[in-house]
Amino acid sequence: MNRIRMRKNYKTSSLIILVVVLIISFTTFFFIWYNTKISPKIVDVAEAKINKFMESFLSMNIGYEILDEDILEDILIINKNDKGEILYVDYNLEKAYLVLDTVSTELEALVENLEQGNFKDISDNNIKANEHGLILELPMFIASDYALVSNLGPKIYIKVNFVGSILTNIKSKITEYGINNALVELYVTIKLSQELISPVTNNENVIEYDVLVASQVINGTVPQLYGGAILEKSAELSIPLE
């Protein structure tokens, strides 16, 4: 009887060990497969979501209200010929630097609030702001080709860090507007590096976004030589992120 029990116990123990080994092997294989096949898709989805969120965030928080109304008159130097045609556009460097410094400082404060979890108005259910900063919550099968299972699976948490520097520059655009008038628009181009950190990947991407900060209709025309629009860019201003 004792020998029979020992054999049964031995068989049971062997079976348990085999099951454990199979589970570990399967889990390891699945993790490697997931990391090599699915992770790039997850990263693509994460980048698309965070870029869309940041564009909405920037447009809501940076705009006309942070600059003086007469900024166009002070910052742009518009040169015309005797016919009233706009020949070229230049910048008042002192005013341009002041604008870039104002926008960059405001953006730096906004990014700091995001990283401290102080931002509340988030419309995307996959993005959370808490004491750990900006967190992206994505279901494991979100990268699936099948819509029915794309919201299924355990959550994958991706932390968003803002790294490097905030790069800004001014871009002006002058286009024809009615008869003998031109529409002058002033944009601030923002470049911001984001690091996406998850258990299976660490990826960095750069978002570039144009924010309209001022516009005005002036007397003048755009020569056909320019194809109906004149574009100018200033030098970049860089503010490091701590």
User: What backbone phi and psi angles, to 5 degrees, belong to 28?
Assistant: -65, -45
Q: Over the stretch 89-109, which tens digit does the pLDDT of each residue have? A: 788 888 888 888 888 888 888
Q: What number is the average pLDDT over the span 230-236?
A: 75
User: What backbone phi and psi angles, to 5 degrees, belong to 155?
Assistant: -75, 140
| Helices (H), ranges, 62-169 | 71-75, 93-115
Q: Over the stretch 100-149, which tens digit does the pLDDT of each residue have? A: 888 888 888 888 877 776 666 666 677 777 666 778 887 777 766 666 76
The pLDDT, as a whole number, for residue 192 is: 83
Alpha-carbon separation of residue 161 from 120, 136, 138, 203 (angstroms):
18, 11, 17, 10
The pLDDT, as a whole number, for residue 121 is: 60
CA distance 82 to 92: 23
CA distance 150 to 138: 10
List the chain domain ranges: 2-240
The pLDDT, as a whole number, for residue 16 is: 77
pLDDT at 173 over 80: yes
Q: Over the stretch 45-90, which tens digit does the pLDDT of each residue have? A: 788 888 888 888 777 777 767 776 666 667 888 888 888 888 777 8
pLDDT at 199 over 70: no
**pTM of the model as a whole:** 0.68
**Portion of the chain with pLDDT greater than 70, in percent:** 74
Contact 170, 91 (CB under 8 A): yes
